[in-house]
Amino acid sequence: ACTLSDGTSSQSCRDKSGALLALGTASTSQVPADMLPATTDAPYQFTVTVSKAGKSPATYTLSLTLVTQDIPNVELAVYGEFFRQADGSIKINANSVFKLDSTCSTNASKTQKWSTAQEVALTAPAFTVSTGGDSLIYTGEGSNALVAGASYLMTSSCTVVGAEETVVGSAEQVVVVNSPPAGVPCETCLVDGNDGAPCVKA
């Protein structure tokens, strides 16, 4: 059951449309996102009662404060030497130069960071990160450059510290590094100049 107190009395919880919140009798109950309005003076009280024949009922109550706080939306744009593939990933050469720009939707104070799922240091000389963290430039140089034939997941995260909690939004871009061209295996041999003479491998 769910109740909400106005300071003098308690009433059953209602969703944003005014309908009573139905939680059912199952062992697990879920309330969809954005269904309940934010709390004001008092938290929601969610109470579960477990009973069994011959036993005294056991009750537990959980208090929940619900706040309205937007999760920042992060969008990425790619510039430079790349090919956009059908699955949304980009393909580059190991020595290509490209730039990832990140846009965070919030006007609040925020922190933007870049990371990768692989063990790659996003530092110079192969990478340059802007002062505010909104841009990542790959120069294709240095020992920490991306490896040909490998794939990398680049993530831009935007963290906002709110009055009630810290929220994080993120966006990802898969970067595929093109493998260098390779021909069929070959070998060399010596011939004596006579037609039809066998080839002697060098």
CA–CA distances in Å: residue 158 to residues 101, 116, 152: 13, 15, 20
pLDDT digits (tens, 9 = 90+) for 113-148: 999 988 888 998 999 999 889 999 999 888 778 998
Pair of tokens at residue 166? 């810290």
Per-residue b or e along 139-170, where b marks 16 or more CB atoms closer than 10 Å to that residue's CB: bbeeeebbeeeeebebbbbbbbeeeeeebebb
pLDDT at 194 over 80: no
In angstroms and rounded to an integer, the radius of gyration of the C-alpha atoms of the chain is 30
Q: Which of these ranges, 1-5, 40-44, 63-67, 192-196, has the smallest mean pLDDT?
A: 192-196
Backbone region of residue 107 per phi and psi (left: phi > 0; alpha: psi in -120 to 50; beta: other values): alpha
Q: Is 74 exposed, middle or buried (0-12, 13-18, 19+ CB in 10 A)?
A: buried
pLDDT at 168: 93
pLDDT at 19 over 70: yes
Q: How far apart are alpha carbons 12 and 3 in whole angstroms?
A: 4
Q: Is 128 exposed, middle or buried (0-12, 13-18, 19+ CB in 10 A)?
A: middle
**Bigger pLDDT: 192 or 133?**
133
pLDDT at 69 over 90: no
